Every structure is written in C-alpha cells, then in structure tokens.
Chains A and B, each alone.
Chain A
Amino acid sequence: MQIDGQIALTVLMGLLLLIVAGWIARIEDWRSYTPLASGGGRAVDDTAYETQEKPGGLVRWLTTVDHKDIGILYGIFGTFALMWGGATVALMRTELFTPEQVLMEPTTYNALMTSHGITMLFLFGTPMIAAFGNYVIPLLIGADDMAFPRINAIAFWLLPVAGTLIWSPFVLMSLGIEPAQTGWTMYPPLSVNQSALGIDFMLLGLHLSGISATLGAINFIATIFTERAPDVGWERLDIFSWTMLTQSGLILFAFPLLGSVLLMLLLDRNLGTTFFTTDGGGYILYQHLFWFFGHPEVYILVLPPMGLVSLILPRFAGRKLFGFKFVVYSTLAIGVLSFGVWAHHMFTTGIDPRIRSAFMAVSLAIAIPSAVKVFNWTTTLWSGRLRLTVPMLFCIGFVSNFIIGGVTGVFLASIPVDAVLHATYYVVGHFHYIVMGAIGFALFAGVYYWFPLVTGRMYQRSLGLIHFWLSFIGTNVTFFAMILLGYGGMPRRYAEYLPQYATLHQVTTIGAFLIFIGGVVFLWNIGQSWLEGPRVEDGDPWNLKEDGLVTQEWTWFEQKLETRLADGGEPSDDETAMADGGERE
C-alpha cells in the first residue's frame, strides 16, 4: 500500500514536471531560437505581437511581473483570505452564543481559532499591505516598476502556495490530515507533541509566507532607495512610503527569525531534535524567539496602515498633514522600539523580574510615538475643511479605534495589570481594536480611496456608508464587550464558558455579525462596482487639486485617462462618476 502510494506520487510528480516543462517550452517559444541564431527571420504576426507588454488572458496573470498587476493579485488573494478568516470567526462566534457546546466539537473550535489568527495576520494583513505597496509605491515615487520585478512575482506566488498548505487540512480531514489546533503562537510542547499532520503543513506554509514577506521587503527597500524619480528626494518622500520602508526594515530583522524558529519546530517534530524540549533549549527559549518576531509583527502590520491614514486623512481635511516630520520620526521610533518590548508577552512565565521591569518600561515608552501620531491626525482634522467621504470615515474610525486599542494596551504593559488580565478576553479585545478597528479600517480606507485609480470606476457610496457604520458599530460592540468579559475573568481560547458570561458573549456575537454583514456589503460593493460602476472620467476624482493636495499616483492616473482619450477612448454610455460614489447633489 505504501509502495503503491510512492509510485502514485512519483507518477504525479513526473507528470507535473512534464506539464510545466511543456508549458514553459511552449510559452517561451523555444523554436524561435533557431531562426534567430541563423539570421533572425520571424513571422510578421510575431512582430506585431512583440509590441505588447504582456500576453493575453489567464497567461497574463500567471506570468505578470508588472507591479500594478501583482498589486491586484495580492489584493484578490488578501480578499479571499479575509473571506476565510471571516467565515472561521463567524462559526466560532455562533458557537459562543451559548455557554454550552452546540455547533461543533471543541477540537474543531480550536482548529478554526488557529486558522483565523494565522489567516488574518499572515494571509490577509501582510498581503493586503503588500497590495497597496506594490500598486501605489512605484507610482508615488515616480518609479517605472519595483526594483526587482521578477522577485516581486516570486514573492506573490509563494503566498497562494502557502495558503494552500495552511488551509488544505480543512479539506483533507477525510484523508486523516487534521488541522492544527495550536493557536497562532504555536507554543511547544503543544505544537511538538500534537501529532496532527496539519501542524507540519501550517509550519511549512508559514515558512513560505515568511520567505514571501522577506522578498517583498527587500524589494520595497531597494525600490524606495534606488528607484525614486530624480525630483523625489528624501525630503519629498510621501508618508506611506516612509511607513512601508520602516515596515520592510522590521520584516528584514523579524521574519528570517520566524523562519528559523519554524524550521526548528519542524525539526523537533519530525527528526527528534531538542531545540525546545525541557532537556534542550526549553520552552521559554521558544517564547523569546517567537515574540522577538511576534511583537515587531504587530508594528509590521500597523505601520503601513498608519501611513495610509496619514496619507488619506489630510486629503479630506483640506490641509497638509500636521507635523509631517514628527510623524516620520515617530514611525522610525516605533520601528526601533518595537524590538525592545517582546517580553511583555511573557510577564506571567516566571522570567526574571528585572527583565520584566525593563520590558514594561519600553512597552510604556512605545506609547509615546504612537500618541504623537494620534496628536498629529487630530490636529490635522482641527479646523480642517472635512469631507466625510467613505475613505475619510474609515480614517476617522481608525483614529477612534486606535485610541481605545492603544490605551488598553498601555494598561496591559503594566506588570501587575497584566498579571490579572493575561490570557483573558481583555487581551483579545485590546488587540482586535488594533487589528480590526485600526488596521482593518485603514485597509478599507485604502481600498475605497484608490478604487477609482485601480478600476477606473467609482464604488457605490451608499453601500460604502452601510459598510462603514456596520463595521464601526460592530467593532465597538464586539471588542468593548470583550474587554468587559476580560475584566470579568473570562479566559480566552475556550469553546465553552460559564453561564455568568453568557450576556456579554451574546453581545459580542451580535457585534461580530454586524461586522460580518458589513464585510458582505463591502465585497458586493467592490465586486459589482468593479464590473458595473460608473466610469471615472476625471483624473482627480477626489478634487484634490482644489487644496493643492494631489499626489503623484493621481497625476499618473490623469495622464492614463488622457492617453486613453487620445487613443480614441472607450465609448461609454455609463453614468459619469462624481466624487465619492457618483452621488449627485
């Protein structure tokens, strides 16, 4: 039976290699080498074909190295991941509506919880940020493309492969491959002792996603350093590029460490090494290494969204970002400090109290640059000419949620408070205010803001407003209830709970469903508007010129529209879009 399996795998592998070789040989047109080498005689049709920059159809998307295409691919992948991450949490919150187990086994709950965390952090958050970075940064800095377009494509294609590995155990359960139930932190001994093959799949998938993030980071750093247009000096670099640059630096230091830790876990699991066993390096070593990656990861995820808000919010406040330089300095300060706070995740593990107090101090200190940013966003809004477009609403929602998420985090940085609240729903509420309330909101703001730029069409403002209000109310209902649950002592990561927590859990579930419905409205809006939305005919759909706030990407967009019109344009019977969703006054 085993030998049959090996033969089948060998045949399948051989077939795959043959198909790949055949496809590449066909697409690369090997036969054309001969005539070229002997004088270069080519068919006339071929010459016409050569004038195009990309092949057509599906092949274009499989072979593209254009930063804009890759940005769209990242966005589509991130949206798919968001749907899976959203579906997992919808199932979990449904189960948690009642104290006792109703819908699923606790093991299934654990698997969904693990998948939700891993998906949202590694397969939704990081790729969606890369989507904006890829599409917009070369346009913002006046570059033709990313510094390494092919590496850019490799970085993207590693993600669907990683996602397949991470998600596939849910599909392969019937074959005896169980999904991981370790939580996103993958602490040993649990992650070493559990035999589920899904853990190996997840570790390998995460390792690949880490390689992807590192390749992407190298590319962003090289692009921003070397590909800026001559007139874009450091003093003229936009705030989003600054945050992407800092984030890429953090990735460069953090993700290779995660990759090494994952390999050590894999070796402990499969080859009997003792990196993280009691006799070897010990479990605390794992926690140190993991959180040395894990806490910078928080800033890897939050800095570019902060950049998005710093870029978008002033456009609709009618004035420049207040204290631009200090926003940049605070970004750099957060980048540096982020590597000095990791042990606040380990206050209750019994590590040396002197180490704990040092990490408490730095964790409290990192609130200062974060507060500088909040101050700057608020003062940008102060006496500004506010236009409450959908992206602007999401930016304001970001600031509001970030304040609550940030302040609850300051409390947690204090050792005695953490000793009480560690591993309760308070922590879950705190970091979801950041990851959903802040990061999620900023990414939505980015999607709406650049929707006309990417698609050439305008979204539906009414649906955008419904999405915003459902998300804003849902976020605050869900996560504030979680904070109260945590104060009440409700521990995190449980599929069942004591009846005394039922009311707050039900409020949390209702809030989560508000967010979920908002997400469905968002997907519908984006999908339908991309296909049928009113075409944008104006190169400045947000009227940024009025306030002198046009950025480079909109100039590119305007030129693109002008070129299209000069080429004959696309005759359109569609309604012409007005700013923010085609609503006419």
Chain B
Amino acid sequence: MEEQSGLSDRHRKASPWPLFIAVGLALAELGVFLDLVSIAIGGLLLFVGCLGGIVSEAGYARTPWPFIGGLGLVLAVVGIALTALYPLGGGGALDLGFRAVSIAVAGLLCMGGSLLGRVVLERQSTV
C-alpha cells in the first residue's frame, strides 16, 4: 500500500471523509450523552475511522491504521479509567451508566480494526 489512490488524487477538490466525520461526531456525542450504547460505539468508530482516512488522504500519515490505533488507545484508556472511577451500577459519585464502557469498547474496537487493517489490508495490497 505504498501508493494510495483516493478520491482526492483523482479529484483535487473532493474528499469523502468530512461528511462522515461530522456524522460520526454527532452520533458519538448523542450516543455517549444519552447513554445509547450502540449509537455511541458506532458513532465513535465512524468518527475515528474517518479521521484516520482524512489524515492519510491529506498526506499527514502514510496509512490510516496507526492513527486509528492511537486514537483507539486514547479512547480505551479514557473509557477504562472512567469505568474504574465510576463502576457500573452507580458505585462511584456519579452513575455513568454504560457511557464509559461504550467509550472503552469503541476504543478497543478501533485498536482491533487498526491491527486488522495493518495485517490484512496492507498485506493484501502488497501481494
């Protein structure tokens, strides 16, 4: 995957990522604040994945996977730390519901996805 050919390589004034970054961020916020687990995880996945896409498209990174993995790690750490501070079931000062767990799961999924992307997709592209 040395040479990537994205939309913006063919069309200098187009990129598919911004729209989905916006949608991902909105879904992530909605899901986390209203404690809707699937929307929170899906939104975060969409947001982080598309950020990875736009960063590599803009040439700030060679491939999106390290960025997605790194951001996934941040989310996982934040989610796990919040879960430890405010355990499920309202043990801490605040009852976070499944919010922290959603963030942690999304982070772990991003890390998994990053690994999968590096191992499977990059290997396929170099065959």
* Cβ 8 A contact of B39, one of A9, A24, A36, A65: A9
- The answer to whether A157 and B23 have CB atoms under 8 Å apart is yes
30 A–B contacts from the bound complex (CB under 8 Å): A6-B36, A6-B38, A9-B36, A12-B38, A24-B20, A27-B16, A33-B1, A34-B127, A36-B5, A49-B10, A52-B10, A53-B13, A55-B7, A62-B16, A145-B13, A150-B58, A161-B25, A162-B26, A165-B30, A200-B33, A204-B29, A207-B29, A208-B22, A208-B29, A211-B25, A270-B33, A271-B94, A271-B95, A272-B95, A273-B94
Q: Is the interface of A mostly helix, strand, loop or mixed?
A: helix
Q: A17-B45, A37-B126, A200-B34 are in contact. Are A65 and B1 (CB under 8 A)?
A: no
Considering only residues 149-200 of chain A, those with a C-beta below 8 Å from chain B are: 149-151, 153-154, 156-158, 160-162, 165, 197, 200
Q: How far is the CB of B57 from chain A (nearest CB, A)?
A: 8
- CB neighbours of B26 from chain A (8 A): 158, 161-162, 165, 204, 208
A residues in contact with B4, CB < 8 Å: 33
Cβ B11 vs Cβ A55 within 8 A: yes
Chain A residues numbered 524-574 whose CB sits less than 8 Å from any CB in chain B = none
B-side contacts of A260, CB under 8 Å: none
Q: Answer whether residue A54 sits at the interface, using C-beta atoms and an 8 A cutoff.
A: yes
Which chain A residue lies CB-closest to B57? A150
Chain B residues within 8 Å of A24, by CB:
16-17, 20, 53
A266-B54 contact, Cβ under 8 Å, with A33-B5, A161-B23, A165-B26: no
Q: Is A231 an interface residue (CB 8 A)?
A: no
Tell which of B3, B8, B27 touches A36, judged by Cβ atoms closer than 8 Å: B3
Question: Is A149 a contact of B3 with CB atoms below 8 Å?
Answer: no
How far is the CB of B53 from the nearest CB of chain A, in Å? 7
List the 9 closest pairs (A to B, CB-CB), nearest first. A13-B42, A153-B18, A157-B22, A10-B38, A66-B13, A161-B26, A63-B14, A154-B18, A158-B22
Beta-carbon contacts under 8 Å, B34-58 to A: 34-39, 41-43, 45-46, 53-54, 57-58
Known: A37-B3, A208-B29. A65 touches B15 (CB 8 A): yes
* A14, CB-defined interface residue at 8 Å: yes
A407 within 8 Å of B (CB atoms): no
How far is the CB of B6 from the nearest CB of chain A, in Å? 5
B45: nearest residue on chain A (CB-CB)?
A: A17
Interface residue A279 (Cβ < 8 Å from any Cβ of B): no
Q: Is the CB of B125 within 8 A of A149?
A: no
Q: Using a CB–CB distance below 8 Å, which chain B residues touch chain A?
A: 1-8, 10-23, 25-27, 29-30, 33-39, 41-43, 45-46, 53-54, 57-58, 94-96, 125-127
- A355 within 8 Å of B by Cβ? no
| A358 close to chain B: CB less than 8 A | no
A63 touching B16, Cβ below 8 Å? yes
Residue from B18, B35, B41 in contact with A150 in the complex, judged by beta carbons closer than 8 Å: B18
Task: Give the number of chain A interface residues (Cβ < 8 Å).
Answer: 59
Of all chain A residues, which has the CB nearest B29?
A: A204
Q: Please give the distance in Å from B46's CB to the nearest CB on chain A.
A: 6
Residues of chain A in range 114-163 having any CB-CB distance to chain B below 8 Å: 145, 149-151, 153-154, 156-158, 160-162
CB of A203, distance to nearest CB on chain B (Å): 8
- Chain B residue numbers with a CB within 8 Å of A12 are 38
> Smallest Cβ distance from A33 to chain B, in angstroms?
5
User: Please, which residues of chain B bring their CB within 8 A of the CB of A62?
Assistant: 16, 19
Contacts of A6 in B (CB 8 A): 36-38
Contacting residues, chain A, for B12 (C-beta < 8 A): 53
A52 CA / B23 CA spacing, docked (Å):
27
Asked whether, in the complex, the Cβ of A50 is within 8 Å of the Cβ of B10, the reply is yes
Which residue of B18, B45, B94 has the most chain A CB atoms within 10 A of its CB atom? B18
The answer to whether A107 has its CB under 8 Å from any CB of chain B is no
Q: Which of B15, B37, B96, B126 contacts A153 (CB 8 A)?
A: B15
Give the distance in Å from the alpha carbon of A271 to the alpha carbon of B22 in the complex.
Answer: 25
Give the docked Cα–Cα distance between A53 and B34 (Å).
41
- Shortest C-beta distance, A66 to chain B (Å), equals 4
Contacting B42 at CB < 8 Å: which of A17, A154, A156, A160?
A17
Contacts of B10 in A (CB 8 A): 29, 46, 49-50, 52
Whether A161 touches B22, Cβ cut-off 8 Å, given contacts A33-B5, A150-B54, is: yes
* Shortest Cβ distance from B9 into A: residue: A50
Q: Which residue of B lies closest to A159 (CB)?
A: B22
| Contact with B38, one of A9, A46, A49, A270 (Cβ below 8 angstroms) | A9
- Inter-chain contacts of B17 with A (CB < 8 A): 24, 150
Residue among B21, B29, B127 with the most chain A CB within 10 A?
A: B29
Distance of B51 from chain A, by nearest CB (Å)? 10
Closest to A272 in B: B94
Distance from B120 Cβ to chain A, minimum over Cβ atoms (Å): 13
In the bound complex, CA of A300 to CA of B96 (Å): 36
- Known contacts A17-B42, A33-B125, A204-B26, A157 near B21 by CB under 8 Å: yes
Report A343-370 CB contacts with B as 1/0, cut-off 8 Å. Answer: 0000000000000000000000000000
Give A80 Cβ to nearest chain B Cβ, in Å.
Answer: 17
**Interchain CB contact under 8 A, B15 and A150:** yes
How far, in whole Å, are A271 and B43 apart by their CA atoms in the complex?
21
Residue of A whose beta carbon sits closest to that of B121: A30
Q: Are A20 and B13 in contact (CB under 8 A)?
A: no
* A32 interfacial by beta-carbon distance below 8 Å: yes
* Cβ of A583 under 8 Å from chain B: no
A20 adjacent to B38 (CB under 8 Å): no
> A13 touching B22 by the CB < 8 A rule?
no
> What per-residue 1/0 map shows which CB atoms of A365-388 lie under 8 Å from chain B?
000000000000000000000000
Q: Give the residues in chain A near B14, CB-CB below 8 Å.
A: 53-55, 59-60, 63-65
B18: nearest residue on chain A (CB-CB)?
A: A153
Within 8 A of B (CB), among A54-76: 54-55, 59-60, 62-66, 69
Contact A37 B125 (CB under 8 A): yes
Nearest to B17 among chain A residues (CB) is A150
A273 to B, closest residue via Cβ:
B94
| Min CB–CB distance A280 → chain B (angstroms) | 13
